[in-house]
A and B are shown apart, each in its own frame.
Chain A
Amino acid sequence: MNPLIPLAVMALLVAGIVALFILASVFLGPGKRHPVKDTPFECGIPSEGFAGGRMHIGYYIMAMLFVVFDVELAFLFPWAAALRGLGWFGFVAMFLFIAVIGAGFAYAWKMGALEWE
Protein backbone atom coordinates (compact mmCIF):
# COMPACT_ATOMS: atom_id res chain seq x y z
CA MET A 1 0.00 0.00 0.00
CA ASN A 2 1.25 3.44 -0.80
CA PRO A 3 2.29 5.10 2.45
CA LEU A 4 0.72 8.33 1.31
CA ILE A 5 -2.75 6.80 1.43
CA PRO A 6 -3.19 7.25 5.21
CA LEU A 7 -2.31 10.88 4.74
CA ALA A 8 -4.91 11.25 2.05
CA VAL A 9 -7.46 9.44 4.17
CA MET A 10 -6.78 11.80 7.06
CA ALA A 11 -7.11 14.85 4.81
CA LEU A 12 -10.45 13.54 3.57
CA LEU A 13 -11.64 12.82 7.10
CA VAL A 14 -10.73 16.30 8.28
CA ALA A 15 -12.48 17.93 5.37
CA GLY A 16 -15.46 15.67 5.85
CA ILE A 17 -15.86 16.36 9.53
CA VAL A 18 -15.56 20.11 9.06
CA ALA A 19 -18.11 20.02 6.28
CA LEU A 20 -20.37 17.84 8.39
CA PHE A 21 -20.38 20.24 11.32
CA ILE A 22 -21.00 23.29 9.19
CA LEU A 23 -23.79 21.64 7.28
CA ALA A 24 -25.25 20.22 10.46
CA SER A 25 -25.49 23.63 12.07
CA VAL A 26 -27.07 25.05 8.93
CA PHE A 27 -29.71 22.34 8.74
CA LEU A 28 -30.28 21.57 12.38
CA GLY A 29 -30.04 25.06 13.84
CA PRO A 30 -33.28 26.99 14.42
CA GLY A 31 -31.99 29.82 12.23
CA LYS A 32 -33.97 32.63 13.84
CA ARG A 33 -32.53 36.00 12.96
CA HIS A 34 -32.52 38.81 15.44
CA PRO A 35 -30.65 42.15 15.49
CA VAL A 36 -28.86 41.21 18.66
CA LYS A 37 -27.84 37.90 17.20
CA ASP A 38 -26.31 39.65 14.19
CA THR A 39 -23.96 41.79 16.21
CA PRO A 40 -20.29 40.78 16.18
CA PHE A 41 -20.20 40.01 19.88
CA GLU A 42 -23.19 38.47 21.47
CA CYS A 43 -22.21 39.26 24.99
CA GLY A 44 -25.24 41.09 26.30
CA ILE A 45 -23.79 44.57 26.21
CA PRO A 46 -24.88 46.72 23.29
CA SER A 47 -21.97 47.22 20.88
CA GLU A 48 -20.65 50.72 20.56
CA GLY A 49 -18.80 52.63 17.85
CA PHE A 50 -17.83 50.94 14.60
CA ALA A 51 -15.31 48.27 13.77
CA GLY A 52 -13.36 50.32 11.24
CA GLY A 53 -12.41 52.90 13.81
CA ARG A 54 -8.78 53.77 14.39
CA MET A 55 -6.88 53.09 17.54
CA HIS A 56 -4.25 55.42 18.82
CA ILE A 57 -0.85 54.35 17.51
CA GLY A 58 0.35 54.34 21.10
CA TYR A 59 -1.75 51.25 21.79
CA TYR A 60 0.18 49.20 19.27
CA ILE A 61 3.56 50.39 20.36
CA MET A 62 2.73 49.83 23.96
CA ALA A 63 1.35 46.37 23.22
CA MET A 64 4.42 45.40 21.28
CA LEU A 65 6.77 46.62 23.97
CA PHE A 66 4.72 44.74 26.53
CA VAL A 67 5.07 41.50 24.57
CA VAL A 68 8.80 41.95 24.16
CA PHE A 69 9.52 42.56 27.81
CA ASP A 70 6.98 40.02 28.97
CA VAL A 71 8.64 37.29 26.95
CA GLU A 72 11.95 38.32 28.38
CA LEU A 73 10.54 37.78 31.81
CA ALA A 74 9.17 34.41 30.74
CA PHE A 75 12.70 33.39 29.79
CA LEU A 76 14.07 34.47 33.14
CA PHE A 77 12.06 31.98 35.23
CA PRO A 78 13.29 28.72 33.69
CA TRP A 79 16.77 30.18 33.46
CA ALA A 80 16.78 30.94 37.17
CA ALA A 81 15.61 27.41 37.94
CA ALA A 82 18.26 25.78 35.77
CA LEU A 83 21.12 28.17 36.48
CA ARG A 84 23.05 25.65 38.55
CA GLY A 85 23.27 23.27 35.59
CA LEU A 86 24.04 25.97 33.05
CA GLY A 87 27.02 27.27 34.91
CA TRP A 88 28.95 30.39 34.03
CA PHE A 89 28.17 30.02 30.35
CA GLY A 90 24.47 30.31 31.08
CA PHE A 91 25.06 33.19 33.41
CA VAL A 92 26.98 35.22 30.83
CA ALA A 93 24.59 34.27 28.05
CA MET A 94 21.58 35.53 29.96
CA PHE A 95 23.31 38.77 30.81
CA LEU A 96 24.11 39.28 27.14
CA PHE A 97 20.46 38.67 26.38
CA ILE A 98 19.35 41.14 29.02
CA ALA A 99 21.87 43.67 27.72
CA VAL A 100 20.40 43.45 24.23
CA ILE A 101 16.88 43.79 25.58
CA GLY A 102 18.09 46.67 27.74
CA ALA A 103 19.53 48.38 24.68
CA GLY A 104 16.16 47.99 23.01
CA PHE A 105 14.50 49.48 26.04
CA ALA A 106 16.84 52.44 26.00
CA TYR A 107 16.18 52.92 22.30
CA ALA A 108 12.42 52.80 22.78
CA TRP A 109 12.56 55.19 25.70
CA LYS A 110 14.78 57.71 23.99
CA MET A 111 12.73 57.56 20.79
CA GLY A 112 9.69 58.52 22.78
CA ALA A 113 7.82 55.27 22.43
CA LEU A 114 6.83 55.43 26.07
CA GLU A 115 5.33 58.93 25.81
CA TRP A 116 1.61 58.83 25.35
CA GLU A 117 1.18 62.15 23.61
Chain B
Amino acid sequence: MDVPFILSWITYLPAAVALVLLALPRASNRTLRWIALSGSLAAFLLSLHLGFHFDASSSRMQFEESVSWIRFPAFEIRHHLGVDGISLFLVMLTTFLTPLALLSSWKSVTMRVRPFLACVLLLETGMTGVFCALDLVLFYVFWEVMLIPMYFLIGIWGGERRLYAAIKFILYTMAGSLLMLVGILYLFFAAGGDTFSLVEIVARLERGALAWSSREEFWLFLAFGLAFAIKIPLFPFHTWLPDAHVEAPTAGSVILAGVLLKMGTYGLVRFCLPLFPGAALALAPWISVLAVVGILYGALVAMVQPDMKKLVAYSSVSHMGLVVLGIFTFTPHGMTGALIQMVNHGLSTGALFLLVGMLYDRRHTRRIADFGGVAHTSPVFAAAFLVVTLAAIALPGLNGFVGEILILAGSFARNKVFGTLAALGMILGAVYMLRMYQRIFWGPKNPANAGLGDIGTRERILLLPIVGLMLWIGVYSAPFLRRMDASVAGILERVESAGTPGGSYRVQFIDPPGTPGEETK
Protein backbone atom coordinates (compact mmCIF):
# COMPACT_ATOMS: atom_id res chain seq x y z
CA MET B 1 0.00 0.00 0.00
CA ASP B 2 1.37 3.35 -0.91
CA VAL B 3 0.13 6.39 0.91
CA PRO B 4 0.86 9.57 -1.05
CA PHE B 5 2.55 12.36 0.88
CA ILE B 6 2.70 10.28 3.99
CA LEU B 7 5.58 12.26 5.43
CA SER B 8 3.67 15.48 4.98
CA TRP B 9 0.70 13.92 6.72
CA ILE B 10 2.82 12.86 9.66
CA THR B 11 4.55 16.20 9.83
CA TYR B 12 1.63 18.53 9.44
CA LEU B 13 -1.17 16.63 11.09
CA PRO B 14 -0.19 17.80 14.58
CA ALA B 15 0.08 21.41 13.42
CA ALA B 16 -3.34 21.16 11.82
CA VAL B 17 -4.76 19.79 15.04
CA ALA B 18 -3.11 22.64 16.90
CA LEU B 19 -4.89 25.12 14.66
CA VAL B 20 -8.17 23.31 15.26
CA LEU B 21 -7.59 23.61 19.00
CA LEU B 22 -6.98 27.33 18.71
CA ALA B 23 -10.09 27.71 16.59
CA LEU B 24 -12.43 26.02 19.06
CA PRO B 25 -13.51 28.82 21.33
CA ARG B 26 -15.76 27.10 23.79
CA ALA B 27 -14.48 23.57 24.12
CA SER B 28 -13.76 22.33 27.63
CA ASN B 29 -10.23 21.46 28.63
CA ARG B 30 -11.16 17.81 28.64
CA THR B 31 -12.33 17.94 25.03
CA LEU B 32 -9.24 19.83 23.99
CA ARG B 33 -6.99 17.27 25.61
CA TRP B 34 -8.74 14.43 23.87
CA ILE B 35 -8.53 16.14 20.50
CA ALA B 36 -4.83 16.79 20.94
CA LEU B 37 -4.15 13.26 22.09
CA SER B 38 -6.04 11.67 19.24
CA GLY B 39 -4.28 13.96 16.77
CA SER B 40 -0.88 12.92 17.97
CA LEU B 41 -1.91 9.28 18.13
CA ALA B 42 -3.06 9.49 14.54
CA ALA B 43 0.37 10.80 13.59
CA PHE B 44 1.92 7.90 15.45
CA LEU B 45 -0.24 5.37 13.63
CA LEU B 46 0.75 6.93 10.32
CA SER B 47 4.39 6.68 11.26
CA LEU B 48 3.94 2.97 11.95
CA HIS B 49 3.22 2.66 8.26
CA LEU B 50 6.74 3.93 7.60
CA GLY B 51 8.23 1.27 9.81
CA PHE B 52 6.32 -1.55 8.14
CA HIS B 53 6.90 -0.51 4.57
CA PHE B 54 10.47 0.58 4.91
CA ASP B 55 12.82 -1.18 2.54
CA ALA B 56 15.75 -2.18 4.72
CA SER B 57 17.95 -3.19 1.81
CA SER B 58 18.23 0.29 0.39
CA SER B 59 20.34 3.16 1.59
CA ARG B 60 18.34 5.60 -0.49
CA MET B 61 15.72 8.02 0.72
CA GLN B 62 12.30 6.48 0.91
CA PHE B 63 8.76 7.82 0.96
CA GLU B 64 10.30 10.76 -0.82
CA GLU B 65 8.16 13.69 -1.83
CA SER B 66 9.29 16.89 -3.42
CA VAL B 67 7.25 19.85 -4.54
CA SER B 68 8.37 23.32 -5.42
CA TRP B 69 8.00 25.74 -2.54
CA ILE B 70 9.60 29.07 -3.36
CA ARG B 71 10.50 29.58 -6.96
CA PHE B 72 12.98 31.99 -8.45
CA PRO B 73 14.33 32.37 -11.92
CA ALA B 74 17.72 30.98 -10.93
CA PHE B 75 16.83 28.42 -8.30
CA GLU B 76 14.07 27.12 -6.15
CA ILE B 77 13.55 26.02 -2.61
CA ARG B 78 11.75 22.73 -2.57
CA HIS B 79 9.52 21.14 -0.03
CA HIS B 80 11.50 17.93 -0.10
CA LEU B 81 10.91 15.24 2.51
CA GLY B 82 12.22 11.72 2.83
CA VAL B 83 13.43 9.21 5.39
CA ASP B 84 16.17 6.62 5.39
CA GLY B 85 17.53 4.25 7.98
CA ILE B 86 18.98 7.13 9.93
CA SER B 87 15.86 9.21 10.33
CA LEU B 88 13.20 6.50 10.28
CA PHE B 89 13.34 5.65 13.95
CA LEU B 90 13.80 9.23 14.99
CA VAL B 91 10.55 10.15 13.26
CA MET B 92 8.86 7.26 14.98
CA LEU B 93 10.41 8.20 18.31
CA THR B 94 8.97 11.69 17.93
CA THR B 95 5.48 10.51 17.14
CA PHE B 96 5.75 7.91 19.91
CA LEU B 97 6.82 10.27 22.66
CA THR B 98 4.48 13.16 21.87
CA PRO B 99 1.23 11.39 22.83
CA LEU B 100 2.93 10.22 25.99
CA ALA B 101 4.04 13.73 26.78
CA LEU B 102 0.49 14.95 26.28
CA LEU B 103 -0.84 12.18 28.48
CA SER B 104 1.69 12.96 31.17
CA SER B 105 0.42 16.51 31.46
CA TRP B 106 -3.22 15.40 31.70
CA LYS B 107 -3.53 16.42 35.31
CA SER B 108 -0.49 18.55 35.95
CA VAL B 109 -1.18 21.31 33.44
CA THR B 110 -4.42 23.00 34.39
CA MET B 111 -3.58 26.55 33.48
CA ARG B 112 -3.81 27.76 29.88
CA VAL B 113 -4.46 24.29 28.58
CA ARG B 114 -5.28 25.26 25.04
CA PRO B 115 -2.01 27.02 24.18
CA PHE B 116 -0.11 24.31 26.01
CA LEU B 117 -1.52 21.58 23.83
CA ALA B 118 -1.00 23.70 20.72
CA CYS B 119 2.64 24.25 21.66
CA VAL B 120 3.31 20.55 22.14
CA LEU B 121 1.67 19.72 18.82
CA LEU B 122 3.52 22.46 16.94
CA LEU B 123 6.69 21.20 18.51
CA GLU B 124 5.95 17.77 17.14
CA THR B 125 5.50 19.19 13.66
CA GLY B 126 8.80 21.01 13.93
CA MET B 127 10.73 17.98 15.14
CA THR B 128 9.27 15.60 12.60
CA GLY B 129 10.03 18.14 9.91
CA VAL B 130 13.65 18.37 11.02
CA PHE B 131 14.06 14.62 10.68
CA CYS B 132 12.36 14.47 7.28
CA ALA B 133 13.57 17.59 5.51
CA LEU B 134 16.05 17.09 2.70
CA ASP B 135 16.16 20.65 1.48
CA LEU B 136 18.61 22.76 3.43
CA VAL B 137 16.33 25.76 3.75
CA LEU B 138 13.36 23.62 4.70
CA PHE B 139 15.50 21.89 7.29
CA TYR B 140 16.60 25.21 8.68
CA VAL B 141 13.04 26.48 8.84
CA PHE B 142 11.89 23.48 10.86
CA TRP B 143 15.01 23.64 12.99
CA GLU B 144 14.33 27.22 14.00
CA VAL B 145 10.56 27.22 14.13
CA MET B 146 10.64 24.37 16.57
CA LEU B 147 12.42 26.60 19.07
CA ILE B 148 9.46 28.90 19.50
CA PRO B 149 6.96 26.43 21.00
CA MET B 150 9.72 24.99 23.17
CA TYR B 151 10.54 28.48 24.34
CA PHE B 152 6.93 29.04 25.34
CA LEU B 153 6.67 25.64 26.97
CA ILE B 154 9.61 26.42 29.23
CA GLY B 155 8.72 30.05 29.73
CA ILE B 156 5.01 29.76 30.51
CA TRP B 157 4.56 26.37 32.14
CA GLY B 158 8.01 26.00 33.63
CA GLY B 159 9.31 26.15 37.18
CA GLU B 160 10.73 28.88 39.36
CA ARG B 161 13.51 30.14 37.13
CA ARG B 162 11.67 29.52 33.91
CA LEU B 163 12.31 32.92 32.35
CA TYR B 164 16.04 32.62 32.74
CA ALA B 165 16.02 29.09 31.39
CA ALA B 166 13.84 29.99 28.42
CA ILE B 167 15.99 32.93 27.35
CA LYS B 168 19.17 30.94 27.83
CA PHE B 169 17.77 28.09 25.79
CA ILE B 170 16.76 30.31 22.90
CA LEU B 171 19.98 32.35 22.85
CA TYR B 172 22.25 29.31 22.91
CA THR B 173 20.44 27.44 20.20
CA MET B 174 19.93 30.53 18.05
CA ALA B 175 23.61 31.42 18.18
CA GLY B 176 24.52 28.06 16.75
CA SER B 177 21.81 27.80 14.20
CA LEU B 178 22.26 31.27 12.73
CA LEU B 179 25.89 30.49 11.98
CA MET B 180 24.61 27.38 10.28
CA LEU B 181 22.43 29.66 8.16
CA VAL B 182 25.54 31.41 6.86
CA GLY B 183 27.01 27.98 6.24
CA ILE B 184 23.95 26.96 4.27
CA LEU B 185 24.13 30.11 2.17
CA TYR B 186 27.81 29.60 1.48
CA LEU B 187 27.23 25.98 0.59
CA PHE B 188 24.44 26.98 -1.74
CA PHE B 189 26.52 29.45 -3.69
CA ALA B 190 29.56 27.20 -3.71
CA ALA B 191 27.44 24.39 -5.10
CA GLY B 192 26.50 26.51 -8.06
CA GLY B 193 23.71 28.62 -6.65
CA ASP B 194 20.92 26.58 -8.14
CA THR B 195 19.83 24.08 -5.52
CA PHE B 196 19.38 23.67 -1.78
CA SER B 197 18.78 19.95 -2.10
CA LEU B 198 20.95 17.93 0.23
CA VAL B 199 20.69 14.87 -1.98
CA GLU B 200 21.74 16.80 -5.06
CA ILE B 201 24.67 18.55 -3.38
CA VAL B 202 25.99 15.30 -1.94
CA ALA B 203 25.63 13.72 -5.37
CA ARG B 204 27.68 16.52 -6.86
CA LEU B 205 30.35 16.04 -4.25
CA GLU B 206 30.46 12.36 -5.01
CA ARG B 207 30.66 12.96 -8.73
CA GLY B 208 33.45 15.41 -8.17
CA ALA B 209 31.42 18.20 -9.76
CA LEU B 210 31.94 20.09 -6.53
CA ALA B 211 34.97 19.98 -4.31
CA TRP B 212 35.98 21.81 -1.16
CA SER B 213 39.29 23.33 -0.39
CA SER B 214 40.36 22.00 2.97
CA ARG B 215 39.96 25.42 4.54
CA GLU B 216 36.44 25.82 3.18
CA GLU B 217 35.48 22.38 4.36
CA PHE B 218 36.86 23.03 7.82
CA TRP B 219 34.87 26.22 8.34
CA LEU B 220 31.71 24.83 6.85
CA PHE B 221 31.98 21.81 9.09
CA LEU B 222 32.35 24.10 12.08
CA ALA B 223 29.41 26.28 11.02
CA PHE B 224 27.13 23.28 10.83
CA GLY B 225 28.83 21.36 13.63
CA LEU B 226 28.50 24.15 16.17
CA ALA B 227 24.73 24.28 15.73
CA PHE B 228 24.55 20.54 16.24
CA ALA B 229 27.06 20.48 19.08
CA ILE B 230 25.00 23.00 21.02
CA LYS B 231 21.87 20.99 20.48
CA ILE B 232 23.38 17.61 21.44
CA PRO B 233 24.81 19.16 23.74
CA LEU B 234 28.46 18.33 23.34
CA PHE B 235 30.75 19.42 26.15
CA PRO B 236 31.48 22.41 26.57
CA PHE B 237 28.26 23.69 24.96
CA HIS B 238 26.00 21.95 27.42
CA THR B 239 25.35 24.63 29.98
CA TRP B 240 21.89 25.51 28.71
CA LEU B 241 20.68 21.95 29.14
CA PRO B 242 20.43 21.56 32.93
CA ASP B 243 18.55 24.85 33.23
CA ALA B 244 16.15 24.07 30.43
CA HIS B 245 15.54 20.54 31.67
CA VAL B 246 14.97 21.49 35.26
CA GLU B 247 12.65 24.38 34.53
CA ALA B 248 10.63 22.82 31.73
CA PRO B 249 7.32 21.17 32.58
CA THR B 250 7.32 17.37 32.45
CA ALA B 251 6.04 17.21 28.89
CA GLY B 252 8.67 19.70 27.82
CA SER B 253 11.46 17.78 29.52
CA VAL B 254 10.34 14.53 27.96
CA ILE B 255 10.38 16.01 24.48
CA LEU B 256 13.54 17.98 25.11
CA ALA B 257 15.49 14.98 26.32
CA GLY B 258 13.70 12.44 24.20
CA VAL B 259 13.78 14.10 20.83
CA LEU B 260 15.35 17.54 20.75
CA LEU B 261 18.82 16.42 21.71
CA LYS B 262 18.73 13.80 18.98
CA MET B 263 18.36 16.54 16.43
CA GLY B 264 21.98 17.46 17.10
CA THR B 265 23.43 14.02 16.58
CA TYR B 266 21.08 13.44 13.68
CA GLY B 267 22.36 16.64 12.08
CA LEU B 268 25.94 15.45 12.41
CA VAL B 269 25.17 12.18 10.67
CA ARG B 270 22.84 13.62 8.07
CA PHE B 271 24.71 16.78 7.12
CA CYS B 272 28.24 17.01 8.50
CA LEU B 273 29.44 13.56 7.51
CA PRO B 274 28.23 13.33 3.91
CA LEU B 275 28.81 17.00 3.10
CA PHE B 276 32.19 17.45 4.75
CA PRO B 277 33.70 14.00 5.13
CA GLY B 278 37.27 15.26 4.94
CA ALA B 279 36.81 17.70 7.79
CA ALA B 280 34.87 15.10 9.74
CA LEU B 281 37.79 12.70 9.50
CA ALA B 282 40.32 15.36 10.32
CA LEU B 283 38.41 16.63 13.33
CA ALA B 284 37.26 13.24 14.57
CA PRO B 285 40.01 12.88 17.20
CA TRP B 286 39.19 16.26 18.71
CA ILE B 287 35.47 15.66 18.70
CA SER B 288 36.03 12.26 20.26
CA VAL B 289 38.04 13.87 23.02
CA LEU B 290 35.21 16.32 23.68
CA ALA B 291 32.75 13.45 23.66
CA VAL B 292 34.78 11.48 26.19
CA VAL B 293 35.22 14.52 28.39
CA GLY B 294 31.46 15.01 28.17
CA ILE B 295 30.82 11.40 29.16
CA LEU B 296 32.99 11.59 32.25
CA TYR B 297 32.12 15.14 33.19
CA GLY B 298 28.40 14.55 32.82
CA ALA B 299 28.61 11.42 34.92
CA LEU B 300 30.70 13.02 37.65
CA VAL B 301 28.48 16.07 37.91
CA ALA B 302 25.37 13.88 37.90
CA MET B 303 26.70 12.02 40.92
CA VAL B 304 26.53 15.06 43.17
CA GLN B 305 23.17 16.43 42.10
CA PRO B 306 20.57 16.72 44.84
CA ASP B 307 17.83 17.38 42.30
CA MET B 308 16.44 14.46 40.29
CA LYS B 309 15.83 16.40 37.14
CA LYS B 310 19.30 17.89 37.22
CA LEU B 311 20.74 14.45 37.72
CA VAL B 312 18.91 13.13 34.69
CA ALA B 313 19.93 16.21 32.72
CA TYR B 314 23.62 15.65 33.39
CA SER B 315 23.24 11.98 32.65
CA SER B 316 21.94 13.13 29.26
CA VAL B 317 25.15 15.05 28.69
CA SER B 318 27.04 11.89 29.47
CA HIS B 319 24.94 9.63 27.30
CA MET B 320 24.84 11.96 24.34
CA GLY B 321 28.62 12.14 24.55
CA LEU B 322 28.61 8.41 24.06
CA VAL B 323 26.45 8.78 20.98
CA VAL B 324 28.86 11.32 19.50
CA LEU B 325 31.77 9.05 20.29
CA GLY B 326 30.01 6.24 18.49
CA ILE B 327 29.42 8.33 15.38
CA PHE B 328 33.01 9.47 15.16
CA THR B 329 34.46 6.02 15.46
CA PHE B 330 33.55 5.63 11.78
CA THR B 331 32.95 1.95 12.29
CA PRO B 332 29.71 0.18 11.41
CA HIS B 333 29.38 -0.92 15.01
CA GLY B 334 29.90 2.49 16.46
CA MET B 335 27.64 4.24 14.00
CA THR B 336 24.79 1.76 14.24
CA GLY B 337 25.19 1.74 17.99
CA ALA B 338 24.98 5.51 18.05
CA LEU B 339 21.79 5.46 16.01
CA ILE B 340 20.06 2.90 18.16
CA GLN B 341 21.40 4.60 21.26
CA MET B 342 19.69 7.78 20.17
CA VAL B 343 16.40 5.93 20.25
CA ASN B 344 17.29 4.25 23.53
CA HIS B 345 18.24 7.45 25.20
CA GLY B 346 15.02 9.00 23.98
CA LEU B 347 13.05 6.19 25.56
CA SER B 348 14.90 5.88 28.85
CA THR B 349 15.45 9.55 29.54
CA GLY B 350 11.97 10.37 28.39
CA ALA B 351 10.68 7.74 30.76
CA LEU B 352 12.84 9.03 33.59
CA PHE B 353 11.43 12.49 33.19
CA LEU B 354 7.93 11.07 33.12
CA LEU B 355 8.61 9.23 36.37
CA VAL B 356 10.20 12.23 38.03
CA GLY B 357 7.21 14.24 36.86
CA MET B 358 4.88 11.81 38.58
CA LEU B 359 6.75 12.22 41.83
CA TYR B 360 6.74 15.95 41.42
CA ASP B 361 3.00 16.05 40.77
CA ARG B 362 2.48 14.42 44.14
CA ARG B 363 5.06 16.05 46.32
CA HIS B 364 6.02 19.24 44.44
CA THR B 365 9.65 18.65 45.09
CA ARG B 366 12.36 17.04 43.09
CA ARG B 367 14.99 16.82 45.80
CA ILE B 368 16.20 13.28 46.21
CA ALA B 369 16.64 13.87 49.94
CA ASP B 370 12.91 14.55 50.35
CA PHE B 371 12.10 10.99 49.43
CA GLY B 372 12.98 7.60 50.84
CA GLY B 373 11.13 4.35 51.26
CA VAL B 374 8.78 5.18 48.45
CA ALA B 375 8.80 1.54 47.33
CA HIS B 376 6.64 0.68 50.31
CA THR B 377 3.85 3.04 49.39
CA SER B 378 4.06 2.74 45.61
CA PRO B 379 5.30 -0.70 44.56
CA VAL B 380 4.22 -0.53 40.91
CA PHE B 381 5.81 2.82 40.49
CA ALA B 382 9.00 1.51 42.06
CA ALA B 383 9.06 -1.43 39.69
CA ALA B 384 8.61 0.77 36.65
CA PHE B 385 11.29 3.12 37.88
CA LEU B 386 13.62 0.19 38.36
CA VAL B 387 13.14 -1.08 34.82
CA VAL B 388 13.79 2.36 33.40
CA THR B 389 16.84 2.86 35.60
CA LEU B 390 18.26 -0.45 34.53
CA ALA B 391 17.62 0.39 30.91
CA ALA B 392 19.44 3.66 31.36
CA ILE B 393 22.48 1.90 32.79
CA ALA B 394 22.44 -0.70 30.03
CA LEU B 395 21.52 -3.91 31.75
CA PRO B 396 21.67 -6.75 29.22
CA GLY B 397 18.21 -7.63 28.04
CA LEU B 398 17.10 -4.04 28.06
CA ASN B 399 17.49 -1.57 25.23
CA GLY B 400 20.40 0.45 26.61
CA PHE B 401 22.68 -2.53 26.44
CA VAL B 402 22.37 -2.94 22.69
CA GLY B 403 23.45 0.56 21.89
CA GLU B 404 26.20 0.83 24.45
CA ILE B 405 27.83 -2.47 23.63
CA LEU B 406 27.90 -1.58 19.94
CA ILE B 407 29.37 1.86 20.61
CA LEU B 408 31.95 0.47 23.00
CA ALA B 409 32.88 -2.22 20.50
CA GLY B 410 33.32 0.44 17.87
CA SER B 411 35.36 2.73 20.05
CA PHE B 412 37.63 -0.04 21.32
CA ALA B 413 38.36 -0.93 17.74
CA ARG B 414 39.13 2.69 17.05
CA ASN B 415 41.05 3.70 20.13
CA LYS B 416 41.53 1.70 23.28
CA VAL B 417 41.87 4.74 25.51
CA PHE B 418 38.60 6.29 24.37
CA GLY B 419 36.89 2.94 24.72
CA THR B 420 38.17 2.43 28.24
CA LEU B 421 37.22 5.90 29.36
CA ALA B 422 33.77 5.60 27.82
CA ALA B 423 33.26 2.30 29.62
CA LEU B 424 34.34 3.97 32.83
CA GLY B 425 31.69 6.61 32.21
CA MET B 426 29.09 3.89 31.88
CA ILE B 427 30.12 2.41 35.22
CA LEU B 428 29.81 5.80 36.82
CA GLY B 429 26.38 5.98 35.23
CA ALA B 430 25.35 2.83 37.03
CA VAL B 431 26.62 4.32 40.27
CA TYR B 432 24.63 7.53 40.20
CA MET B 433 21.46 6.02 38.79
CA LEU B 434 21.34 3.17 41.29
CA ARG B 435 22.21 5.50 44.13
CA MET B 436 19.34 7.75 43.18
CA TYR B 437 17.04 4.76 42.98
CA GLN B 438 18.17 3.53 46.34
CA ARG B 439 17.73 6.84 48.06
CA ILE B 440 14.26 7.39 46.65
CA PHE B 441 12.74 3.97 47.02
CA TRP B 442 14.54 2.35 49.89
CA GLY B 443 16.21 3.61 52.99
CA PRO B 444 14.45 5.32 55.89
CA LYS B 445 10.85 6.23 55.25
CA ASN B 446 10.13 9.87 55.04
CA PRO B 447 6.80 10.46 56.80
CA ALA B 448 5.86 13.04 54.20
CA ASN B 449 5.62 10.24 51.66
CA ALA B 450 3.13 8.22 53.65
CA GLY B 451 0.17 9.38 51.60
CA LEU B 452 1.96 9.13 48.29
CA GLY B 453 -0.10 6.29 46.91
CA ASP B 454 0.71 4.27 43.84
CA ILE B 455 0.38 5.37 40.26
CA GLY B 456 -3.04 5.34 38.70
CA THR B 457 -4.39 3.83 35.51
CA ARG B 458 -3.45 6.75 33.31
CA GLU B 459 0.11 6.64 34.48
CA ARG B 460 0.33 2.89 34.02
CA ILE B 461 -0.94 3.22 30.48
CA LEU B 462 1.67 5.88 30.01
CA LEU B 463 4.57 3.73 31.13
CA LEU B 464 3.50 0.44 29.60
CA PRO B 465 4.41 1.15 25.97
CA ILE B 466 7.79 2.56 26.92
CA VAL B 467 8.73 -0.38 29.10
CA GLY B 468 7.46 -2.74 26.43
CA LEU B 469 9.58 -1.10 23.79
CA MET B 470 12.60 -1.20 26.05
CA LEU B 471 12.23 -4.91 26.44
CA TRP B 472 11.65 -5.41 22.75
CA ILE B 473 14.80 -3.57 21.69
CA GLY B 474 16.72 -5.26 24.47
CA VAL B 475 15.69 -8.78 23.55
CA TYR B 476 15.23 -8.64 19.81
CA SER B 477 16.87 -5.62 18.24
CA ALA B 478 17.33 -7.05 14.77
CA PRO B 479 14.25 -5.38 13.22
CA PHE B 480 15.65 -2.03 14.27
CA LEU B 481 19.28 -2.58 13.41
CA ARG B 482 18.46 -4.20 10.09
CA ARG B 483 16.74 -1.08 8.89
CA MET B 484 19.73 1.06 9.75
CA ASP B 485 22.50 -1.03 8.22
CA ALA B 486 22.23 0.01 4.62
CA SER B 487 22.13 3.73 5.42
CA VAL B 488 25.03 3.45 7.85
CA ALA B 489 27.06 1.64 5.20
CA GLY B 490 26.18 4.39 2.74
CA ILE B 491 27.38 7.13 5.08
CA LEU B 492 30.57 5.26 5.89
CA GLU B 493 31.36 4.75 2.23
CA ARG B 494 30.87 8.42 1.68
CA VAL B 495 33.22 9.30 4.54
CA GLU B 496 35.76 6.75 3.43
CA SER B 497 35.90 8.24 -0.02
CA ALA B 498 37.38 11.38 1.52
CA GLY B 499 39.97 9.58 3.59
CA THR B 500 43.52 10.30 2.52
CA PRO B 501 45.77 7.29 2.15
CA GLY B 502 47.91 7.07 5.25
CA GLY B 503 45.74 9.56 7.12
CA SER B 504 45.53 8.86 10.82
CA TYR B 505 41.78 8.56 10.82
CA ARG B 506 40.01 6.30 8.39
CA VAL B 507 36.85 4.32 8.22
CA GLN B 508 37.33 0.92 9.78
CA PHE B 509 35.34 -2.09 8.83
CA ILE B 510 35.77 -4.51 11.67
CA ASP B 511 33.67 -7.36 10.36
CA PRO B 512 32.33 -7.72 6.90
CA PRO B 513 30.06 -4.69 6.82
CA GLY B 514 26.37 -5.13 7.22
CA THR B 515 26.30 -7.64 10.08
CA PRO B 516 26.69 -5.54 13.19
CA GLY B 517 23.45 -6.66 14.75
CA GLU B 518 24.54 -10.20 15.35
CA GLU B 519 26.01 -10.27 18.80
CA THR B 520 22.73 -9.15 20.29
CA LYS B 521 20.73 -12.05 18.98
| Direct chain A–B contact by Cβ atoms under 8 Å | no
A residues contacting B by CB (< 8 A) are none
B residues contacting A by CB (< 8 A) are none
